[in-house]
Amino acid sequence: MSNAPADVHDVKKEVRGYMIVFGSLAFLTILTVLISRLHFGLVGNVAIALLIATFKASLVACFFMHLISERTLIYFLLIFTLGNLFFLFGLLLWGYGDILMGARFVS
């Protein structure tokens, strides 16, 4: 975001955008609750809920946090962070699926 004095017309346009995002977030919250009452199986319900949550988070990040018009350095920083996060999740799943041969379990 630039620090130049704001153009009133541009800002009013931005505000309209914020209100649309707010409406969308509220609608998607209600939608998440309603869809959770339907039965698509555990995997289906988890996938749908996380998909909607990711979309909502993207709206917040892109518009409220202004990521839609941010500097390249911030994008690099975010890609690095998310790369680390998914690496962490990957390690977790790998570790979960990779049980040592001959391991015995207490229960």
Partner 1 sequence: MSSVHVLPYTVSPRQDTGLFNAKLGIWLFLGSEVMLFGGLFSAYILLRMGAPNWPMGSTILSIPIGTFNTIVLITSSVTMVMAWVSLKLQELKKFRMYLGLTILLALTFLMVKAFEYGAKFSIHYHEYFPALFNLAVHRLAGGIAAMALVPKCILGFFFLWAVWSLAQVAFKDFSRFVRTAILLISVIAFIGIILTLFELGNRHSHHNFPPSYSTYMAIYFTLTGLHGLHVLGGIIVNGYFWGPGRRMWLDQPERFTNRIEVAGLYWHFVDLVWIFLFPVLYLL
Binding interface with partner 1 (CB under 8 A): 1, 3, 5-6, 8, 11, 14-15, 18-19, 21-22, 25-26, 29-30, 32-33, 36, 45-46, 49-50, 52-53, 56-57, 60-61, 64-65, 71-74, 77-78, 80-82, 84-85, 88-89, 92, 96
Q: What is the DSSP letter of 19?
A: H
CB of 27 to partner 1, least distance (A): 11
Nearest to 14 by CA among 79, 64, 72, 87: 64
Q: Containing H/E element for 91?
A: helix 72-97
CB of 34 to partner 1, least distance (A): 10
CB of 29 to partner 1, least distance (A): 5
Residues 31 and 49: their CA atoms lie apart, in Å, by 9
Nearer to partner 1, 46 or 68 (CB): 46
CB of 104 to partner 1, least distance (A): 16
Helix (H) and strand (E) counts in the chain: 3, 0
- Are residues 67 and 61 in contact, defined by beta-carbon separation less than 8 angstroms? yes
